[in-house]
Amino acid sequence: MTSQVRGVQLARLLGQWHALPGRRRSPDYAALAAAVRGLLSDARLPLGVRLPAERELAEALRISRTTVTAAYRELRETGHLASRRGAGSWTMLPGTHRVASTGLWTPLDDRDMIDLGVAALAAPAELVPAARAAAEDLPRYLAGAGYHPTGIIELREAVARSYTERGLPTSAEQIMVTSGTQHALDLVLRLALAPGGSVLVESPTYPNALAALAARRARISTHGLATDGTGWDADLLLGSIRQTRPKLAYLIPEFQNPTGHLMPAELREPLVAAAHAAGTDLVVDESFVDLPLDGTTLPPPIAAFDRHSRVVSIGGMSKPYWGGLRIGWVRASAPQVQRLAAARVGVDMASPVLDQLVAVHLLGRAPTIVAARRTQLAAQRDALLGALAQRLPDWRVSVPRGGVTLWAELDGPISSALARAAEEVGVRLAPGPRFGLDGTLERFLRLPFTLPAADLVEAVGRLAAVRYDLDRGTGRPRWREPAVIA
Ligand SMILES: Cc1ncc(COP(=O)(O)O)c(C=O)c1O
């Protein structure tokens, strides 16, 4: 499953490589090699990708071939490139860079701990009234056995309506209710991916999706998102689908976790067309679709361009409503829903009826609840951005137009060290490498804005205090239990 990057594509990714900050008198070949290493460690350039031939890259960069030859030689020496005569050169990382991606739960008993590892809001005030109303509804279901593998009809209808309102006509038969979006992903993978199947994901991406893929022993390749601009590079994304023809691609087009990017309208149709031509199924995670901020308009859903049942959409209640509800869903063709339900019977039979009724009541009040969530999130995001600008001005952030997280570019490859130091001062972080493969992304940190503004400001103050200790090397390494990242 080797994909290849063309000379012009690499030249675009390299950008102003000859004028990188910190470059003084280093020769061109060393600057070029450093820029390629930078792309690799930021996961903008995937591992295992074939680089252009020396002559092709020299032409694209308008430099001499000897410079490219010397840069490739240096990359081989530092362990960033493997070459075989006549076959080409592939990107790699030196040594055994491996990162654990387990997300085990350990209960939080430290009240002073500010948990920035979980990107989810506390429950809305409407939850308890919705639960009471659901209990009142329950007798309607008690005469039956209570197993509804595709979900109770009222919830399926309510979810179908929300897709139709987004411009994607959907019937209840196309919806299957699950116990959360994560469960939806697991079921879809069970059905669509044989063990060891090939999957393309964004880098960075949602860590628990990587865990679900690891459980299927998927062979994962990545599409590196840019930190600025729109994130996805259309040419590279479509190119790698065409070249590697993965069995499946898992994407988060609406306010991507962790970067907050929104996939532009003009990429959506060609993406579906390329997936269809390559025989790739698209699993589109719409966890954050209800949370555009600042009046951002949403492009049409990816599934709106699907004519061949290539796109399966998954989503749920956790981000706009409450994670503790454990309600999610799959939108697919009616036959796919039936197959998913059959697979589910071997896993957990069905989702709890009472929780589904709570979800129906919450969705009935969606306009009020979601509007309040957006106002709250925008205010918390602005408080976080303000605190970062004041206390950690060397970190670069672009303002997310929706969702619940921002992706900060740090002032060095310190993310894991910072997370360890932050625990000592009562801040739990999800460091950059948790969002990728192979130990890349050390220069990045996901910061959710789901906690109250005062907690976010306090957390940034504590981070600023330990950031400068890192340079002095005063942090003590200590064993820590793994904690959940969501
Ligand atoms: C992209 C994405 N998918 C899935 C989930 C899991 O959602 P749920 O709680 O509905 O299982 C999350 C939660 O953080 C997420 O960010």
Contact by Cβ (8 Å): 7, 59: yes
Among 333, 480, 345, CA closest to 421:
480
What DSSP string describes 242-281?
HHH--SEEEE--SS-TTT-----HHHHHHHHHHHHHHTPE
Q: What is the predicted pLDDT for the residue at 99?
A: 45
Q: What is the predicted pLDDT for the residue at 270?
A: 98
Q: What is the predicted pLDDT for the residue at 440?
A: 86
Among 74, 135, 415, CA closest to 258:
415
Which atom of ligand 1 lies at the shortest distance from residue 118's CA? 14
Q: Ligand 1 pocket test: which of 118, 255, 256, 257 has the largest number of ligand atoms within 8 Å of its C-beta?
A: 257
Burial class (CB in 10 A: 0-12, 13-18, 19+), 117: buried
Q: What is the predicted pLDDT for the residue at 473?
A: 59
Q: What is the predicted pLDDT for the residue at 23?
A: 58
Q: Ligand 1 pocket test: which of 116, 225, 287, 446 has the largest number of ligand atoms within 8 Å of its C-beta?
A: 287
Q: What is the predicted pLDDT for the residue at 154?
A: 98
Instruction: State phi, psi for 120 to the nearest 5 degrees.
Output: -155, 150
Which atom of ligand 1 lies at the shortest distance from residue 315's CA? 10
Q: Whose CA is nearest to atom 13 of ligand 1?
A: 486
Which atom of ligand 1 lies at the shortest distance from residue 323's CA? 9
Contact by Cβ (8 Å): 462, 426: yes
Give SS3 for 198.
strand
CB within 8 Å of 435: residues ≥ 6 apart: 203, 204, 205, 206, 207, 258, 441, 444, 446
Contact by Cβ (8 Å): 258, 446: yes
Distance 473 CA to ligand 1 centre (A): 36
Distance 250 CA to ligand 1 centre (A): 13
Q: What's the CA gap between 175 and 169, in Å, rounded?
A: 12
Contact by Cβ (8 Å): 344, 149: yes
Distance 5 CA to ligand 1 centre (A): 31
Q: What is the predicted pLDDT for the residue at 477?
A: 47
* Helices and strands, counts by H and E, the chain: 16, 14
Among 353, 299, 309, CA closest to 331:
309
Distance 482 CA to ligand 1 centre (A): 18
C-alpha atoms less than 13 angstroms from C-alpha of 260 in its C-beta half-sphere:
28
- SS3 per-residue string spanning 72-118: HHHHHHCCCEEEECCCEEEECCCCCCCCCCCCCCCCCCCCCCEECCC
Rounded-to-5 percentages of helix, strand, coil across the chain: 45, 15, 45
Question: What's the pTM value of the predicted model, to 2 decimals?
Answer: 0.85
The parts of the chain modelled with pLDDT lower than 50 are: 1, 96-109, 475-478
Q: Is 287 in the pocket of ligand 1 (CB under 6 A)?
A: yes
Amino acid, res. 212? A
Structure-token match 């209640």, residue found: 317
Contact by Cβ (8 Å): 187, 340: yes
Instruction: State phi, psi for 312 to the nearest 5 degrees.
Output: -115, 125
Q: What is the predicted pLDDT for the residue at 291?
A: 98
